[in-house]
Every structure is written in C-alpha cells, then in structure tokens.
Amino acid sequence: MQFNSFQYIFLLFITVGIYYLLPLLGQKLLLVIVSFGFYMAWNVKYSLLMATVILLTYFAAIFMIKKPQYKRLLFFGSLLSVLGLLFYFKYFNFFLDTLNQVFGANFSMLNIILPVGISFYVFQSIGYLADVYTNNEECEKSLLNYALFISFFPQLVAGPIERSKNMLTQFNTKQVFDVQNIKNGLTLVLVGLVQKVVIADRLALYVNAVFANYQQASRAALIVAVVFFAFQVYCDFNAYSLIAIGSAKTMGYTLMRNFNHPYLSRSFAEYWSRWHISLSTWFQDYIFTPFVWTNPLKKLGKFFTAPPMVLGLLLVFTVSGFWHGASWTFVVWGLLHGAFRIFEALTAKAKKKFYKKHAIRPNHPILVVVEVAIVFLLNCFTYVFFRADSMGQAVGYIKGILFGTGTNGIYSDVLGVKPGEITLCFVIIGALVLLEILGEIFCKNISFDVILQQKNVVVQSVVYAALLLILVVFGMYGVSYVENPFIYFQF
C-alpha cells in the first residue's frame, strides 16, 4: 500500500476517525492492528519477521535490566541476531554473487524477496537496544508500547528512524482530538503528495528514459538527467517523510524532521546534517561517536592509528552505502561521500587560514553561491552511482558525460518523453529552488504547516485550493503512473 494511493488516504481517514473515540489502551491497540495490517498489505509472511524483531529486541532489553551480569552477552547476541536477519534478507544473494565473481564459484541465488522497510525498523530496534545498554532507564516495560514503537505505520516503511525517548513517552499519553493537529498533519500530507505525484514522478519519466538509453543519449541529456534525478530523489523521499510526519500529526504524535533544505548546503558536513536527518544522527550517535571514543581498530596496526575521526567517517559512509542497498554502486556512492567529507575535515584549518589571509568573508554571497554549487554538482556526480543499476552502467554513464558524441540533444525522440514534459520539469525545478531559497532565508527552522496556520483563513484556503489544483491538474496519474513506488521503499 503506497502512501500516494487512495487506499492509504482512506486508511488514514478511517483510522483517525476511530482513533479519537477510544481510550488510551484502545488507541494503542488500534494503531498496532492497523500497523501490522498495513505491513501485511505487502507480504503477510514478512509481518512475522517484524514480529520476531520486536519480540527478540523487547525481551533482550528486559533481560539486560533483570540480569545485568549477562548484559553484554544479551546486547551483542540480540544485535547479531537482528543484523543476521537483515543480512540474510538483504545481503545474502549479494554475498553469494560477490563470491561467484571473485572466486569463480557457482553458487545459486536464493529466491529471497526483500521485506519492505526492513533496514528502517531493524535500525530503529538496534538504536533502542543501544539506549538500553547504555542507560537502564530507557527500558520499555510495555510490550504493546514497544510493538507500536517499531511498527507505527506512518514511519514503518521508510522512516524517519525514530528514537525511543521521543516516541515511547508520546505513546503513554492519551491523544485528544485537536483541530490544529488535524490541519497541520493534512497540510504536510498534501504537500508531500504534490512533491511525489507532481514533481518526483514527472522527473522520473526523463531520468528513467535517459538511464535506460544512456549509450545513445547526448552529453547534455546525461547531465540534465542526473540533475533531474537529484531533485527526483529529494522530492520523492522528502514527500514520504512529510506524509509520514503529517499522518502521525493527525493522531497527535510528533515525528522528527527528516530534511532541511539540503541542496543549499555549503559543505558535505552541512549536507549530512540536513539530508535524511534521522539516519545521519543515528550514524552519529550509534556508530561514529562510539568509534571515535574507543577506536577499536588501533590494535590492528599503524594504519589504524590514523585520526579516529577519519576512520570513523570512513566507517560511517561505508556502512551508509551498504545500508542503502546490496550493490557495489551504493558502496561507491557512500565512499565518495566519505572521501568528500574526510577531505573537508582535513582541510578545514587550511581553508580558514586561506580566507583570513586573503581577507575573504566566509559569508560573502558570491562565496556562498560557489560553495553551494560545488557541493550540489559533486553530489550529482555521486548520484550516477546511486541511480545506476550496475557499476558498468555507472562507468558508461560517466564516460558518456566526459567523452559522449551524441547529438540528439535534450529533446530526443529516442527517449520517448514529450518536449513539453521536459520543459515543464525545468519550470518545476526552478520554482522548487526558489521556494527552497525563500524557505532557507525566512523560515529555516519552521515547518510549512506551522507557517501556514499563522496566516488568516483566506490565505490558508487559497493555499489549500492551489495545492489541490496542482495535484489534480499536474499529478502523474494513469495506468503507467498510479502508485509509483517511493525510491526508499527498496531500502
């Protein structure tokens, strides 16, 4: 059941309609039932997998508190167990394929279907285990609360990856009907639907066509397609996050913000503090910080005595690449981001001295624009690997940009995309960039729904009407586009 489907909107309205009529216990039971039903819409059997993760991590945390002498064993045992499940379903065939290629083996691939959202709820459960391991007060006694924390349907499939200290306390409070919450939540859902159905799915037409015909596409088409993909993946994932946050808000719950104008970042450090914030902070708290403090690799030799920060960044971005998918293209994407981030860290002092020596103001408008452009273009380069189906396609795509001789231009009949659609994509991106800049200047840390609710009823009505009109008129509907999957559902 996709977020951009009528079935989901119907499910949300029915759930909210019943939800506020129930006492606290009834609210939680309803949400657990709906959440499991929502997940079973993809695959009934894999709801058992999610239930296994819930029970395993719940009881591991309980016994960590009851049996402190076995705390370390319980933590690492449960950690390896859930990671083992993730490895089997997401990486086992990749592992076999790698063995076949490297050693000339002939292992047969297993018929494994990747459970939707497994990376998200596994990481959320690991975060909970780590919190309990380091802080006994974080242990949740109620199995119902914990099951809801892991399975909560708005953020189950693609995040945000929530923290137990944020959500579990909210689940212990009866949510009462609040018109403001309903309006704020539905505003975010509506904005998310516009970003997904109007922008992301429209950009996907051209992106898919160019990547499928990259050998015949011109240099200009290749460049435009990867820029389009940058905005496609942003609008696609931000749309999911907005719909998830908005859906939760209609029931009185607050999920963390997942994006904050990331393409206006002046460095990759800033970019990763604005992009997929829930995952970035998860890596920061549960991998990078513990690693830097302990540097467990220093016992392996001189190479591993390099600055822990450098090794920590390399580890985080390698894990990030693997987390996104069982393919070497994602690993390369992660390593490229790691290399850019490490380069920034190692040259930060020299850069600061250079600016001071030449009396360059760090916030000079021209410098800001140049730095934002450099980060965005380097990001687009990494997106070639993120979007490519194989390393061969990624390398061929880059060769096409560097040495391509295609003369068909951007508007090529070979691509099968109408010129009007391509032109509309340019207009939409221009409007999106303008809105992002205005948002950065005037409301960087305030969400759109809050700003809108501060306006009078006339302004609100006009905005709602405009969003609905845009969604209906410019939305990508029909046989080929209905319920177009969100990109991050595959992770």
Active site residues: 324
Distances (CA, A) of 264 to 111, 165, 384, 430, 440: 42, 30, 20, 14, 8
The count of residues in the chain is 491
- CB 453, CB 184: distance < 8 Å: yes
Output b/e per residue, 347-358; b: 16+ Cβ within 10 A. Answer: eeeeeeeeeeee
Reduce the secondary structure of the chain to three states and give it as a string: CCCCCHHHHHHHHHHHHHHCCCCHHHHHHHHHHHHHHHHHCCCHHHHHHHHHHHHHHHHHHHHHHHCHHHHHHHHHHHHHHHHHHHHHHHHHHHHHHHHHHHHCCCCCCCCCCCCCCHHHHHHHHHHHHHHHHHCHHHCCCCHHHHHHHHHCHHHHCCCCCCCHHHHHHHHCCCCCCCHHHHHHHHHHHHHHHHHHHHHHHHHHHHHHHHHHCCCCCCHHHHHHHHHHHHHHHHHHHHHHHHHHHHHHHHCCCCCCCCCCCHHHCCCHHHHCCCCCHHHHHHHHHHHHHHHHHHCHHHHHCHHHHCCHHHHHHHHHHHHHHHHHCCCHHHHHHHHHHHHHHHHHHHHHHHHHHHHHHCCCCCCCHHHHHHHHHHHHHHHHHHHHHHHCCCHHHHHHHHHHHHHCCCCCCCCCHHHCCCHHHHHHHHHHHHHHHHHHHHHHHHCCCCCHHHHHHCCCHHHHHHHHHHHHHHHHHHCCCCCCCCCCCCHHHHC
